[in-house]
Amino acid sequence: MEGTDPGQAAVTERRANARRRTRTGGKGGYSLLLKDSVIYGAGRALQKFLVALLLPLYTAFLSPADYGILGMVVTVTTFLDVFVTLGFDVAFSRFYFDDKSPAARRRVITNTFYVSTAYPAVLLGATIVLLPTIAPLLMGGQYESGDWRYFAVALATLFFSNLNDLPFTLFRLEHRPWIFSAFTIGRVIVQVPLSVLFVAVFDWGPMGVLLANLVTAAGMQVMLLPTYVRKIDWGWHWELLRPMLAFAIPALFTGISFYWLKLSDRWFLLHYQGKSEVGLYTVAYSLSQPLYITLMAFRMAWPQWHYARLNEPEKHKRMVSRSSTYFLALNVGLLVLIGTLLPLGVRVFLNERYWSVGPATFVLSLSVVLYAVYFVFWVGSNVAKKNRMIPVFFVIASAVNIGLNFIVVPRYGMWGAAWTHALGFAMLAVTVFFYSERWYPIPYEWRRLLKLVVAGATTLGAVWALAWATGQSVDMPFGELLVRQLAALPVLLLFPVLLWVFRFWTPGEVVRLRQMTARLPGLAAVAPQVAVAGPGQAAQTGGVGSAGDEVDEEPAALLAGGVVDGSPGEDRAECLSEDDAAAEDEEAELEASAHLNVTEGGETLA
């Protein structure tokens, strides 16, 4: 056609794709990410809940000395696990998508199998043989004759657990979250009765706990083996193994540094404050795990989701940017919820001796959010396969953490340790961001992220001001505490209200929010009240456009209840900006390529 603007033609085509997607009722690629994350998260959450039910059992049948043995076993095996995995889980996920042919993927799976069996068998076997000599050095004056057997059982468990990671990772890469969660829950269903039997019935003490873990891990491998053994070609692919090792080895040093970043504060607390403070800090750390479950669920679903678009860099960057905003928005919202209801949670779930852990728990929850920020920023260097400097950044963050612990922990105990923990992860996120931007710059939606931080901080400030004004305290009578916590719930509405005032939502998101709320009884009337980002603001978010783009004013008319230049069936597509239309098209294409079956997952290798 004469005088047709190529750019406008592209926009028209994208809007046509969006209209086709609307008519067919297809769900977008972001829904695939959300679905996978929810399923993974639900499985992990149920697993942690069922395992938590064992705490009363362990408390009743295990002495503090028994817990000390288990604590040392966990500490040592966590450190050795870094050397057992060699960072190959990261290499597996990354190289799996380099060549999508079945033969190439079989080679990747085969190399991962060898690294998960032959190498750990040699390393862990040699360590077990030397344990009678090593264990007394680890336990010091607390060592008793035969304690090395606890470590031996734990290392055998580590072998099977590491091998089990192969099929679990494969389930994620093949978009099979239901199967993943089924095996995850099945593991707990086996482990819990065995723990009850070995600890409560047979009275085997710490060995009962460790043997229950070993039998469960070995039994899981028997059940998992048929799911992946036919995908191993039993060849030796050194030409592929070398680049996989080169990619994975930096993760080994990262894991070592991460170990010290996460666990060094325990040693300082033990030395300067004593065992009781370590116990309180451990409880605080456990209470911060709900956010960690969210992070792990996203981490399991996200890599394979965005790696599938690596062949289209610009689309891939926009997908990473937008999904990062959604993920961090969820983290900020959960942090606000935890900060509000933490006093009630501490009071309900903990004994009076542990009521002081609330403030440290919140700071540790903040550190989990900062770790999530690091994970989001890390994607650039990971995509570019430039991970060699990542261990250096972990060393820097760990060094800062350890140095501050020398100063802070003697005076402030677990409260100071929690803050050094958070500051270490903050430094890690900052350094990794600048490094990743050098190799694979991603236009994150900075303006929207800033609005999230301001809205979250303001809401928490209001909640805490109300708590201070009403004299709220975790040790007040339970009825009074409950009343004050219920009174704080309406203040939580400040968070979405501020997002509305700040015009956080993009036009496309407003339409989707309106559709979702319209399906909920009684909420359809309030759907039009969601504010949209004003002209230029959706583009200024930094993730899905440039600062100079304009956004149509049509969404306002649509949300007011009108029809925009066309039939009602076209309203949704026509109200989208160019960038949102492009995103809608990308989502539909990704969903179509996934061949997702909700009961099974994506197609797998034959």
For 87-91, 398-402, 576-580, which range has the lowest pLDDT when averaged over its residues?
A: 576-580
CB neighbours of 464 closer than 8 A, spacing ≥ 6? 339
Distance CA 319, CA 225 (A): 35
pLDDT tens for 380-416 read 887 777 777 877 888 888 889 999 999 999 999 989 9
Residues 6+ apart with CB under 8 A from 456: 332, 333, 335, 336, 495
Q: What is the pLDDT of residue 105?
A: 86
**Both tokens of residue 39?**
């399923």
pLDDT at 30: 53
Arithmetic mean of pLDDT, 467-492:
92
Q: Which residue has the higher pLDDT, 164 or 247?
A: 164
Q: Please state the pTM of the whole predicted model.
A: 0.63
- Percent over 70 (pLDDT), the chain: 70
Grade residue 81 by pLDDT with cuts at 50, 70 and 90. confident
> Sorting pLDDT into bands at 50, 70 and 90, what band is 145?
confident
Distance, in Å, from the CA atom of 320 to the CA atom of 305, rounded to the nearest integer, reads 10
pLDDT of residue 605: 27
Residues 432-464: tens digit of each pLDDT = 999 988 888 888 999 999 999 999 999 999 999
C-alpha to C-alpha distance for 77 and 90, rounded to whole angstroms: 20
- Residue of 357, 365, 350, 342 whose CA lies nearest to 277: 357
**How far apart (Å, rounded) are the C-alpha atoms in residues 493 and 516?**
19
Query: What is residue 76's DSSP assignment?
Result: H
Tell me the per-residue pLDDT of 119-142, one tens digit each, with 9 for 90 and over. 889 999 999 999 999 888 776 665
Determine the 3-state secondary structure of 445 from DSSP.
coil
> Mean of the pLDDT values across residues 550-572?
35
What are the extents of the domains in the chain?
40-236, 503-587
Give the model's pLDDT for residue 486.
93
Residue 572 pLDDT grade (very low, low, confident, very high; cuts 50, 70, 90): very low
Q: Which of 32-46, 271-285, 317-331 has the lowest mean pLDDT?
A: 32-46
Handedness of CA 393, 397, 402, 403 (dihedral sign): positive
